Amino acid sequence: MATHVLTNPRWHKSEDGRGPRFRGLALGEVATVSSGMGEEPLLREAALQTFRVGDIVHLDGSGNVAIVTESTDTVNSAILGQAAKPGANAASAGTPAYVQIWRPQDRFLMQVFHATASLAVTAQTQMGEVFPIIKDEAGNDTYHIDLATTAESAEVALARVQVVGFPEGDDFGNVKSTLGDTYGWAIVKPLEFSIASDGSPFTRILQG
């Protein structure tokens, strides 16, 4: 089986037949009617944001776009989508943001991850299961399906995606995808909420 290079999730398709949805300002400028950018100047970055294109972001408590928060590298915040332009690292909030929104009808390609590489493999048993998302802090700071962390229990509601398929035979950087690959690819559906087995905590996830 092949080993894939870890990279951020990528949009795959939408069940409604539409393309990916973007919000905000592509050029990071105050838009005018003639700009043709589909302007949304009130989607703004929080201060000191250094996220990259493709990093997962959320709306923070002030309503500004910031990189998602984590608990031991596992994403524990809500999700707006993926940054479509880099963070400006501005000293104060207000820089116009541009985000590819995650919606329930979207499907994304995302790699499985475990700190032990031999356990970071795709498997038929993952089909239909829900998983957290982990940031590979020890590697290239990319986001993946977290195979090592409990998604939901009596105290935990960390599920963020559901595996709904595998891109068998698809080419990723000249490496063909096969079930059983290390850091293999899966097709995932973003979850609208995560709920502990006893009903609390109940976490709403998608913000787009």
pLDDT one digit per residue (tens) for the chain, 208 residues: 899 999 999 999 999 999 999 999 987 665 444 444 457 888 999 999 999 999 999 999 999 999 999 999 999 999 999 999 999 999 999 999 999 999 999 999 999 999 999 999 999 999 999 999 999 999 999 999 999 999 999 999 999 999 999 999 999 999 999 999 999 999 999 999 999 999 999 999 999 9
**Does any domain span residue 122?**
yes
| Residue that has been written with the tokens 């002030």 in this structure | 62
DSSP state for residue 96 in the 8-state scheme:
B
The C-alpha atoms of residue 15 and residue 41 are separated, in whole angstroms, by 29
Domain boundary residue among 73, 102, 131?
102
Are 138 and 71 found together in one domain?
no
Task: Count how many domains the chain has.
Answer: 2
Peptide bond into 104 cis (omega under 30): no
Domain extent, residue 40, equals: 22-102
Are 147 and 92 found together in one domain?
no
**Does any domain span residue 137?**
yes
Are 84 and 108 found together in one domain?
no
**Does any domain span residue 14?**
no
Domain boundary residue among 85, 102, 119?
102
Domain boundary residue among 67, 85, 102?
102
Tell me whether strands 106-113 and 143-146 are parallel, antiparallel or unpaired: parallel
